[in-house]
A and B are shown apart, each in its own frame.
Chain A
Amino acid sequence: MTSKLLRYIFILPVIIYTVFLIALPLIYIFVISFFQSDFYGGMIETFTLENYARIFDSVYIGIFIKSLVIAGITTIICILISYPFVLAVSHKNKRFQTILMMLVMIPFLTNSLIRMYGWTVLLRESGIINQILMSLNIISEPLSLMYNNLGIIIGMVYTLIPFMILPLYSSVSTIDKSLLEAASDLGASKWQKFKNIILPQTFPGLFNGALMVFTPALGYFFIVDVLGGGKIMILGNLIKNQFLTARNWPFGAAIAVSLVLITILVIVIYRKLGGKMDKLGDM
């Protein structure tokens, strides 16, 4: 085989893949977001900005804001849980650390929907948590733990937390322990050590995790469906509805394009802060 032919054999798959399975579908979505929709499902191939104008309707702006807030809160809670956890794990010996990290992964290797279902068994009014709290006389009326924003955030945090724990853990484990010891010897307080050594060293992991939690949270319609009771909508549900019930593909495409723009914005910030793209998919 000549090396020229070999070269083509090596290069072709990645070109075909990126062109046909990434670029073309996205370009197509971009194109149809400027089409008109006829009533009942079809698309009319005339240029319009109507779909984008419609996004600025207060209803849809509301859904954008709500999605961003839910994703933001989810990200913050994931950070608040993961940080102490990862630091606590890193204080253990290496062997124990390996075992703990393996245990962390187990729940996430099962079906994510069935885990959401597990939460509904726990959270609903007749669910286990309310039953326990009522039998202990802590509450007299069942608490509304799901079919509201609280339920959705619990579901989001639960589903997305490994994407925060893993990068944080790998960045914490690169911290030079002797640096921390030296700091202690010099009389640094815990907070000083955290602020001056741990935090800067784990920034890359933190950003990586935040990105991998924030953007999926904008689109996970199934969590909202299961734990939100069909009365709360985030961008994911809105897009899904446009494609699967309202039959307005151009409008759905326009929302999807806006979602891509939000993602690009987040990525630009991530890169400005020194984040590396290769770290994102490396788990």
Chain B
Amino acid sequence: MKTNKVLDNLIIFIVFFFLFLPICVLILFSFNTSSLNITFEGFTLYWYQHLLENTALLEALKNTLLIAVISTVVSTIVGTISAYALKKYDFPFKNVINELLYIPVVIPEIVLGISLLCIYTFMHLELGMFTLILAHISFSIPFVIISVRSVLDSLDPNIEKAASDLGASKLKTFFYIVIPLLLPGILSGAQLAFTLSLDDVVISYFTAGPGSNTLPLYVYSVIKTGVTPDVNALITIMLLVIFIVLTIATIISLRKFKKEVRG
């Protein structure tokens, strides 16, 4: 098939330029001697050192990671069990529940945010880490369910039957047969839950309380009063970590792909 290679490359280049432009600016200014992110005045590593003294920022980072880890673990477990239950069992209102699960995926986050805020207030829950984690769990679970379900649907139902014919208990079958087979779906669901939690602004904005500042909320407040380059420095470090992790993941998937092609 004839395609216009030059045009293709141009399009790809322009889109990548657009995607990476603001990121590159942020990285550049993390090395800037001026504390205002306006013009580049000279090179320094000062902000990387200063970052370690910015306790508010570091605490926000700690909270963010803690919330992301806990909400990912919980939503992955609940999501996996739920996906399995929805596939294997019949129960009253199953169809309704199935529909309700899409709500957090499709409605604007702000609706979920304020409805959680209202219900927390109604139940006299104090806003803080707990309410924040609960909120993150509640918007992550459907993504895990959908991701697990897509693998579950392609699973051969005879496998479970064979296991029980061989005398394995249901629970054993679930843990030793089903879970390992579902692992790709579970992992991609967990990854999605983790990234959604790390970057959530809208829902956190309504459900956080004193002492539970997250990184996105911290950035939101400093954008209003003036961002210092130590925030840029933190983002640069985070980007580096993400880049390394993704590169490793890509190399692994490329290897697999090679094997599949060969074998």
Q: A-side interface residues toward B, CB under 8 Å? A: 1, 3, 6-7, 9-11, 13-15, 17-18, 21-26, 28-29, 32, 81, 84-85, 87-89, 91-92, 94-95, 98-100, 102-107, 109-122, 126-128, 131, 158, 161, 177, 180-181, 184, 211, 215-216, 218-222, 226, 235-236, 239-240, 243, 249, 252-253, 256, 259-260, 263, 267, 277-278, 280-283
Contact = CB atoms under 8 A, between A and B. Distances in A.
A122 B21 contact: yes
Given A17-B141, A282-B147, A219 B85 contact: no
15 contacts: A9-B81, A24-B119, A81-B15, A98-B254, A103-B16, A112-B199, A114-B219, A119-B22, A121-B29, A181-B1, A216-B109, A259-B110, A263-B106, A278-B146, A280-B146
A26 to B, nearest CB: 5
A110 B82 contact: no
B102 A281 contact: yes
A249 B118 contact: yes
A240 B205 CA distance: 10
Contacts of B114: 29, 239, 243, 252-253, 256
Given A112-B201, A184-B1, A98 B250 contact: yes
Contact of B239 (A85, A106, A282): A106
B202 interface: yes
B97 A14 contact: yes
Nearest to A1: B171
Interface in B219-233: 219-220, 223, 227, 231-232
Interface string B208-243: 000000011001100100010001100100110011
A10 B81 contact: yes
A64 to B, nearest CB: 13
Interface string B98-125: 0011111111111110111111001000
